[in-house]
Amino acid sequence: MSTRPRTPGPSTPAPGKVALPELGEMKRRGDTIVMITSYDAPSARLADAAGVELILVGDTAAMVMLGHESTVPATLDEMIFLTRAVTRVARHPLVIGDLPFGTYEISDEQAVASAIRMVKEGGADVVKLEGAGRMVSRTRAIAESNIGIMGHIGLTPQSATKLGGFKAQGRTGAAAIRLYEQALELEDAGCFALVLEAVPAAVSARISEALSIPTIGIGAGSACDGQVLVWHDLLGLYAGRTPRFVKQYANLAQEIGTALRRYVDDVRSRAFPEEQHTYSIPEEELAEFEAGIAALSIR
């Protein structure tokens, strides 16, 4: 396991946008990087105020925002729309636009074109894609187009069916060696950081030590250079299955449900709106109004 010291990130955002070199410096200092997903302006504004370094507009939006059973149905147009909402208000964090399934697999040219759209139309600072193998070539092509690229290995939700479902990866010696090799290949291809998802902590620690770029863990142990969680998971807003690696910091779904039921009850009982929620009209203006509609013979 890594013995590098870890220190908390800032409690308030520093002035200016996080730059890619700053992430590398944080790794070298042993400062932990905080990443969170966000899909709209209100959540991005709150994440910014909390002092996170990275916001990922992830294709998990397909599940937590759009009601799909997996991330696969997300389209590039949808991801650009959501990314644009985040980039309008995120001032300090680096915003990462996730490239959805089907937007980079065909060719290097397709990958670069999708990345360019995410940056130009979505306003993303950088992009992310999943996988290694042929995706190393896609990664290199995007990096050589002067677009920052984050890699993602381990459990890759876009190819979960091929992996046998949403299961931890790298749990055999051979599989762990493949992940290690993939990490080195993606670094060499130009990634500025690498997400490790559902990977044994000991394997993630060795990968993190071997790389000069930061690793961001999700279900990959505390030795990674940073951590990420999905907004709806950590706040208790997602009604679907929650992975074992999620720590829920609030149960907002319960609180929102309680508030909505109170609203329904107040409206039906006419307890809402109260006088303080309504607008008045001067008596003389009301009299003129009543006289006017009487003259019009309106009911």
Q: Which residues have a catalytic role annotated?
A: 197
Surface-to-core class of residue 31, CB atoms within 10 Å of its CB (0-12 exposed, 13-18 middle, 19+ buried): buried
Instruction: For the chain, report the end-to-end CA distance as a whole number of angstroms.
Output: 80
Query: In this structure, are residues 82 and 44 in contact, taking their beta carbons and an 8 Å threshold?
Result: no
Chain centroid to CA 95? 9
| Closest to 180 (Cα-Cα) out of 196, 161, 160 | 196
Tokens 């910091």 identify what position?
A: 249
Distinct helix (H) and strand (E) counts, the chain? 11, 8
CA 57, CA 86: separation in Å to the nearest integer?
8
Residues facing residue 149 across a β-bridge: 127
Query: In this structure, are residues 18 and 35 in contact, taking their beta carbons and an 8 Å threshold?
Result: no
| Closest to 35 (Cα-Cα) out of 115, 138, 152 | 152
Query: In this structure, are residues 115 and 142 in contact, taking their beta carbons and an 8 Å threshold?
Result: yes
Surface-to-core class of residue 290, CB atoms within 10 Å of its CB (0-12 exposed, 13-18 middle, 19+ buried): exposed
CA 276, CA 231: separation in Å to the nearest integer?
35
CA 70, CA 154: separation in Å to the nearest integer?
17
